[in-house]
Amino acid sequence: MCAVFAADMKEQNRLQVYHAIRQTPGQAVTRTEIGRKTGISAPTVLKIFDFFERRGLLVSEGEKNVMDAGRKPSVFRFVPAAALTVGVTYDGHVLEMSLVDLNYQTVKHRRFPLTTDVASMVGETLPRCLPEFTAGAPRILGIGVSLPASVNNAEKRITYQAFPSFRERMSKGSLMPECNALEKRMGVPVLFENDVNCAAIAEYRQLGLGEQDDLIYIMLGGGVGAGLVMDGRLRRGGNFSCGEIGYMVWNADYRGDSRTGYLEDLLYRAPKERYGVDLLRTDVSVPEALVSELADTLAIAIANLSNALDVSRFILGGCVAERLGEQLLQEVNARLFRLCVHDAYLIPACCADGCARGAASLLIQQELDKFLSDRGDPEPDA
């Protein structure tokens, strides 16, 4: 029991030091500075720094230039590329892959058309493409896969497919055999997650938000969905379908079906019926009157979320949002000022590869404890 407790303490100390280093501006630190920040003893900090150097997480930059007499402290710089994670996103038409470092930044990206079912993508395409894509990486922690569906990662299973346009290639069912084969081929774990959840996590990391911060990411793409980060944690729901805001309804006479919801109909079907505009087509112009109607609808949905959940930070992404641009953002924000109990605002997404990067970020979060432990380390510290 004492040995287990000591091992847990060692790993907790490493995690604490790791986060203190990452959160230091410039990520260049001395042992003394980290000892003061964390309250961890000097001998323990010394052992942790030695371990991090062996892991490649820290590199010495010589002595710090200080005016005080005596021995000058050594400076160490964090190396975010000491380990990388693969993020993948697939929508049935395009496959994107990103290599993401420990600062949650993309260091390599590839995007190409692909038309196959998701099982073939995981079981055939990725085993063929990833070895070349990751060649030269010092260490790969794992592979995060983002899909436009509700996903049970523990069972590696698609539980629900909301958007009709994706159902043909994203049918419900288990991906366990393909996942097991990919893990064996690459020698690392594979994680599955909903694409909007991944995009929300990518924006959360990019904005540098903390454990007490909230964020709701809304994607207007092949459908409409949301990713909720509450108190720094991704909210999935008991059925792994948290964020299916396409089914929000504020008309008691509405009669929908399981294929689309009220909000989704207002945002996609109504423009076709009233204006003859398919928002998913890039070769059709969007009248300003239609943008105003979409702003009305989107503002009501966001105001309801903001007022019910006490969230002020909303992010808008997806191909339709990018196409409608600044006018939609400005008109929605003007309406939020009137509709929300507390201040709420909508800003554009800033991560171009948010779904892939977010999937990689979730994998880092899952595997970080193991990476900072002695498991598999050839030179464990005493």
**Cβ proximity of 100 and 87 under 8 Å:** yes
CA distance 36 to 38: 6
Whether the CA torsion 315, 320, 324, 328 is positive or negative: it is negative
Which residue from 39, 46, 49 is spatially nearest to 79, judged by alpha carbons? 49
* Bridge partners, 235 (sequence order): 228
> What pLDDT, on the 0 to 100 scale, is given for residue 379?
44
State both tokens at 75: 């400076």
What single-letter amino acid sits at 284?
Answer: V
Please report, for residues 220, 279, 340, 367, the alpha-carbon distance to residue 268 in angstroms, rounded to integers and kept in the order given.
Answer: 10, 7, 24, 39
Residue with tokens 């990518």: 202
Which residue from 221, 190, 183 is spatially nearest to 318, judged by alpha carbons? 221
> What pLDDT, on the 0 to 100 scale, is given for residue 163?
52
Q: Is 231 left (phi over 0), alpha (psi -120 to 50) or beta?
A: left
Please report, for residues 37, 297, 346, the alpha-carbon distance to residue 314 in angstroms, rounded to integers and kept in the order given.
Answer: 33, 15, 5
Angle between helices 195-206 and 354-371 (to 10 degrees): 70
State both tokens at 117: 């079912």
Total residue length of the chain? 382
Across the 382 residues of the chain, what is the mean pLDDT of every consecutive 10-residue run?
66 96 96 96 96 96 67 90 97 95 97 94 96 95 94 88 54 87 96 96 95 96 93 92 93 80 93 92 90 97 98 96 94 97 96 97 96 68 38
Q: Strands 215-220, 224-230: parallel, antiparallel or unpaired by DSSP? A: antiparallel
Which residue from 369, 375, 378, 304 is spatially nearest to 14, judged by alpha carbons? 369
> What pLDDT, on the 0 to 100 scale, is given for residue 25?
95
Q: What angle do CA 114, 118, 124 make, to 5 degrees?
A: 75
> What pLDDT, on the 0 to 100 scale, is given for residue 377?
56
Q: What is the pLDDT of residues 79-114, one digit of tens each?
A: 999 999 999 999 888 999 999 999 999 999 999 999
Q: For every residue of the chain, which 3-state class applies, written as one string? A: CHHHHHHHHHHHHHHHHHHHHHCCHHHEECHHHHHHHHCCCHHHHHHHHHHHHHHCCEEEEEECCCCCCCCCCEEEEECHHHCEEEEEEECCCEEEEEEECCCCCEEEEEEEECCCCHHHHHHHHHHHHHHHHCCCCCCEEEEEEEECCEEECCCCEEEECCCHHHCCCCCCEECHHHHHHHHHHHCCCEEEEEHHHHHHHHHHHHCCCCCCCCEEEEEECCCEEEEEEECCEEECCCCCCCCCHHHCCCCCCCCCCCCCCHHHHHHHHHHHHHHCCCCCCCCCCCCHHHHHHHHHHHHHHHHHHHHHHCCCEEEEECHHHHHHHHHHHHHHHHHHHHHCCCCCEEEECCCCCHHHHHHHHHHHHHHHHHHCCCCCCCCCCC
